[in-house]
Amino acid sequence: MPESGTRTAAKQDNTIPPSVSTPIPYDAAAVRPVATAAAPARHRWLPWIIALVAALTAIALCVAFLTYRAEMWGGRSLPDTATIAAEASVGGESTYQDRLTGEQVKRVLVGRGLRPELIREFSAKTRGLFLGYADHHAGQRLHSGATVGVRVSAGPGVPEGTVGQQVADVIDALESMHVPVQYKQVVVSDTTRYPAGQVVATDPADGQAVPDDQMAQGITVGVAAEGNGVPFDIVGEDAQQASDQLTSQGYQVTLEPRFSSRTYIGKISGSAPGPGSALDPGQAITLYYGVDASADRDMLTASDHGFRTATGDLSVLAGRYCKASADGGDEDCVTLEATSSRYSAGEDTAIRIAGHDEPMTLYNFSQDISGMVVEPDANHLFDANNLPMRNHLLLKDWGMFEVYAGMGIMRCGTQPISYGPGEYCDNGILRTYDPAGDWYPTENTGLTYDMQDFLVYFPVGSDINELEASGYFDAEALAVARQQDAVDTDRPFILLRDPSQYEQTSVSTDTAPHGDPFVPGNDHGVNPLVPMKPAVSNDTVYYLVEQSKPDWNTLPDLNVESDDSTDNNGKSGNKANTAASGVIFNDIAGSYGFASGSGGWTTTLQVNRDGTFSGYYSDTDLGDVSDEHPNGIRTESTFQGVFSKAKANDDGTYTLQCDADKLNIEGDIGDSRIEDGTLVTISEPYGIAPCTTFTVYPQGYDSSRIDEDVLSWSTAWYFDGIPDKLDTPIIVNDSHKESFYGES
């Protein structure tokens, strides 16, 4: 059965044998392109595809460019003043580009997603005006959230770091403030620490703004120079040693304490006349030395008929106090000034806040001495626990104390009640009546206790923790203060009560008279004083600005004026030289003489503060006579000149440069004339010519270090020998050691 056999054979052949690759010869002629008819169509579409891609790319680039310019990506650009002014005008603000404020710029930058930081710096512009960007420029792109320094004018002031520089290096910065600048010569003793020409003091203090009420006065700069007086560098010296030093020089010295920073505890912190001031021989001086909180009772109380009362002189607290972040502007500073009070112990022994009328004291009004007693007498006339001042901080021994206005006296309208006969309050109006008449008021109406100026004074060493734990501060105010930076306890500071933080600043006494809640008191052991707001922190207190100022009006002016010429490096060489020279010229200005001591010849010399000089040389020989000149002969020279430069040397001497071109002699050298029978001949000035360089040994210089050739000329001036320390300068012509000794 063939079919069956065939099926069987197929069934048996289920397994497919592996294929075997057999190479096929390549026949290029047999290869034919496939679909050759479609190729022309593809090439026709390619340009359109390229054009489409190019168009899409151009559109993308255009969109990217436009969105970049619209600052939708790639950061935000810093606006220029025109843009800021335009944006500020939307809110109705000033649009003057040169009158933009830092706050306006800040708001615009915040709106652009940037983080502005105001940087205050002194300038001639009005306080608060925009000066420019710090470290960036208008148009610069910054990423979102970037910090931008915004320079804001703090008004005219003394840039921080002025003190300690040479005066020549600060002239431009100070003159750029566009306020008057005066330069004064300040006496120093240590010329190594304070070289001639160094700025040692300024008013306002270094880093402080010129107060609004001192703009006409401007800035005063004290520059180091040697001389007689209270050395500026006495500040910081041991109190007793400084006193002994000045006493040994013949001055009458008194030591008085002042609250000061920790640096000056036990050391000189100031003086009267001020440090750096010139003195007359034997003049009286008061030296102030620093004390801390342990001296508050000694400073503020006095013994009175066996009692100790709070009647000390509060003028010791006078001074300027500023916040830590302040640039010295009036809004961030408080000035306490001495004043008088009808209840104070003496004239100018109370204080007040500058610009306010009410004097401030330590105690409340009382009809007798009890209201100001801090320690009872030995006979226990008063119970210590019942003293009216028992709850005052002064009696807590924590170091700090309150000073306040009003003395706890009730007020009728704006007037304090005097508690005397003949006056009464009629619904807040102070009226008078005749105590001897038939009518008198049955009651006062409209009396109030009003919140007035109030501060707590914290000398160094005050126990702030005890005060905070006592409940003295409002709880919320204390919580806020503890979130702020801690106060600097190495400096004295004051804390002012802020009436704006209180809901009630006046209370009526009509219903039932009671103690003033705005001042400390003792109502049967209870203190009625409202909790203090704010509490102590670095943000809330005002620190004492310690500056030992000279008595500026008593100091000689210093000439630092110069032209605007510059050297080859673009530096104000003339200005620098003039400034440094001015210090030295002030130091050596005066009358000098050069002579042999025998009386035959002499040269006088007058040096002025601007470096100019004049003088007269004469040499007379009465024995040289003739019929034409029977009275002898005289050689003379009347001259004027200029020391063009002066510099300080490392050995403590000065070098003067004499300008030979400006040495003028009256008449022509060699010319003669007969005058009153004397033959007079014009010559060069002996000791001055040649006019090259001169060396100055300043007052106070150690005479043992002076050249013998110079000392040989001293016999005409010192019959008993030259002193160990020069009491006047010596000016020496370097050519032949001709020596001009100063006249005392």
Question: pLDDT at position 564, please?
Answer: 45
Burial letters 393-414, b for 16+ CB under 10 A, else e: bbbbebbbbbbbbbbbbbbbee
Helix, strand, coil percentages, rounded to 5, for the chain: 25, 30, 50
* 596 in the same domain as 523: no
Indicate whether 81 belongs to any domain: yes
* 527 in the same domain as 604: no
Question: pLDDT at position 361, please?
Answer: 93
pLDDT tens for 36-62 read 445 555 567 777 777 777 777 777 666
* 638 in the same domain as 519: no
Q: What global pTM score does this model have? A: 0.60
- Which single residue is written with the structure tokens 């197929």? 10
* 732 in the same domain as 602: yes
- Ranked by mean pLDDT, the top range of 197-211, 361-375, 389-403 is 389-403
Give DSSP secondary structure letters for 491-547.
S-EEEE--GGG-S-SEEE-SSS----TTS---BTTB--PPPBSS---TTT-EEE---
Question: pLDDT at position 315, please?
Answer: 92
- Tell me which residue of 245, 249, 198 sits closest to 228, measured CA to CA: 249
pLDDT interval class at 573 (50, 70, 90): very low
pLDDT interval class at 492 (50, 70, 90): very high
* 617 in the same domain as 509: no
- Tell me which residue of 177, 230, 168 sits closest to 199, measured CA to CA: 168
Question: pLDDT at position 43, please?
Answer: 63
Indicate whether 666 belongs to any domain: yes
Percentage, residues of the chain above pLDDT 70 = 85
Question: pLDDT at position 2, please?
Answer: 42
pLDDT tens for 633-690 read 999 999 999 998 888 888 889 999 999 999 999 999 999 999 999 999 999 999 999 9
Stretch 451-463: mean pLDDT, rounded? 98
Helix axes 102-111, 81-89, angle to 10 degrees: 80
Top-confidence residue, 566 or 414:
414
Does residue 90 have a pLDDT over 70?
no
User: With contact defined as beta carbons under 8 Å apart, do 153 and 126 qualify?
Assistant: yes
* 606 in the same domain as 533: no
- Choosing from 504, 538, 572, the residue where a domain stops is 538
Give DSSP secondary structure letters for 253-295.
EEEEEEE--GGGBTBEEEEESPTT-B--TT-EEEEEEEE-GGG
Range of the domain at 449: 332-538
Q: Is 481 exposed, middle or buried (0-12, 13-18, 19+ CB in 10 A)?
A: buried
The CATH number of the domain holding residue 95 is 3.30.10.20
**The two structure tokens encoding residue 36:** 């050759």
User: With contact defined as beta carbons under 8 Å apart, do 583 and 224 qualify?
Assistant: yes
**Cα–Cα dist 501/388, whole Å:** 27
β-strand partners of 238: 267
Q: Amino acid identity, residue 383? A: D
Mean pLDDT of the chain: 84
Does residue 13 have a pLDDT over 50?
no
- Choosing from 498, 520, 538, the residue where a domain stops is 538
Indicate whether 283 belongs to any domain: no
* 594 in the same domain as 502: no
Indicate whether 297 belongs to any domain: no
Q: Is 165 exposed, middle or buried (0-12, 13-18, 19+ CB in 10 A)?
A: middle
Does residue 122 have a pLDDT over 80?
yes
* 598 in the same domain as 490: no
DSSP 9: H
* 628 in the same domain as 498: no
Q: Name the helix (H) or strand (E) containing 149.
A: strand 147-153
Question: pLDDT at position 21, please?
Answer: 45
**Cα–Cα dist 738/153, whole Å:** 55
**The two structure tokens encoding residue 576:** 């620098």
- Tell me whether the omega of the peptide bond preceding residue 273 falls within 30 degrees of 0, making it cis: yes
pLDDT tens for 703-717 read 999 999 999 998 888
Question: pLDDT at position 335, please?
Answer: 94
pLDDT tens for 343-372 read 665 678 899 999 999 999 999 988 778 888
* 631 in the same domain as 532: no
Q: List, edge to edge, every strand of the sheet that includes 115-121.
A: 115-121, 147-153, 130-134
* 417 in the same domain as 350: yes
- Which single residue is written with the structure tokens 């009004």? 365
Top-confidence residue, 496 or 230:
496
* 468 in the same domain as 597: no
Stretch 18-33: mean pLDDT, rounded? 46
Question: pLDDT at position 561, please?
Answer: 55
Q: Amino acid identity, residue 242? A: A
**Sequence-ordered list of residues with C-beta below 8 angstroms from that of 339, at least 6 positions apart, any chain:** 348, 350, 351, 352, 359
Indicate whether 578 belongs to any domain: no
Indicate whether 255 belongs to any domain: no
Percentage, residues of the chain above pLDDT 90 = 48
Question: pLDDT at position 57, please?
Answer: 76
User: With contact defined as beta carbons under 8 Å apart, do 273 and 314 qualify?
Assistant: no
- Choosing from 479, 513, 538, the residue where a domain stops is 538
**The two structure tokens encoding residue 610:** 């601007």
**Cα–Cα dist 7/555, whole Å:** 139
Length of the chain: 744
pLDDT tens for 173-190 read 998 998 889 999 898 888
Indicate whether 693 belongs to any domain: yes
Top-confidence residue, 145 or 317:
317
Question: pLDDT at position 82, please?
Answer: 84
Indicate whether 239 belongs to any domain: no
- Total domains in the chain come to 3
